[in-house]
Amino acid sequence: MIKAIIVDDELSAIKSLQWEIENFCKGIEVCETFTDPIEAISAINYLKPDCVFLDIEMPEMDGFQLLNNLKYRGFDLLITTAFDNYAIRAFKESAIDYLLKPIDTDDLLNSVAKIKHNKERNLLGTELKKVLANINQKSSFNKIQIPLAGKTIFVGIDDIIYCKSDGNYCEIYFKDGKKEILSKKIKEVEAIINHDVFFRVHNSYLVNINFIKEFIKSDGQYLVLENGVSIPISRSKKNALLKVLTI
């Protein structure tokens, strides 16, 4: 929901605009209205609305003075006025629209569409930053430390094809054909690897899904990896695996 604040010294103008928004503009909520610009400044700084509908000519302080006194400016600004001679200055203040009173419903709807577009773009930008941060974080830790007898080896995520449990030991199979044996249970190895591309398809097997070549649904259901090895799938793991593989 988009939060809006209306600032206008004329109460009738506020009520008229609020009625238009509530009846024609879905997705926008007028959270506060003000006839006093001083009170509006405190509220805008505190509430941090998504958009502000601001009148220009007000007796105690005009709209531009109000803007200059704000600490928070992270909102879409819409100028609402009966005068057309403030347009240039309004757009210098980064107003996204200039609505002349009496406000036409179609003009208001166009303004609201701009607000929604900006909000969606900002949300996408925020999500993109999160994704990039996640990618950067993972790329900073693209080596796994595997403790062996008397040494620790550092391997890339895609160097490991699968891991196989052997009681209190675990066999790790690499794409170059090598195999290492750890004196750890497979659940401990799973905790060491701890990466999204590895999936526990069976109590005894941990598989790198990037190396899955085939999903065989007959003969008890099993996977065929790119190195030709067949891996059984536990009945309890099937549905979760299918979601991961989006089959």
For 37-64, how does the pLDDT look when each residue is reduced to its tens digit (9 = 90+)?
999 999 999 999 999 999 999 988 999 9
User: What pLDDT was estimated at residue 133?
Assistant: 54
**In the chain, what is the straight-line distance between the N-terminal and C-terminal CA atoms, in Å?**
35
Residue 4 CB contacts under 8 Å (≥ 6 apart), including other chains: 21, 28, 29, 30, 31, 49, 50, 51, 52, 53
For 72-124, how does the pLDDT look when each residue is reduced to its tens digit (9 = 90+)?
998 999 999 998 888 888 888 889 899 999 999 999 999 999 988 888 776 55
Our measurement of the distance from residue 166's CA atom to the centroid of its chain's CA atoms, rounded to an integer in Å, reads 41
Bridge partners, 4 (sequence order) = 30, 51
Q: Mind listing the domains of the chain with CATH numbers?
A: 2-136 (3.40.50.2300), 143-245 (2.40.50.1020)
Rounded to two decimals, the pTM is 0.52
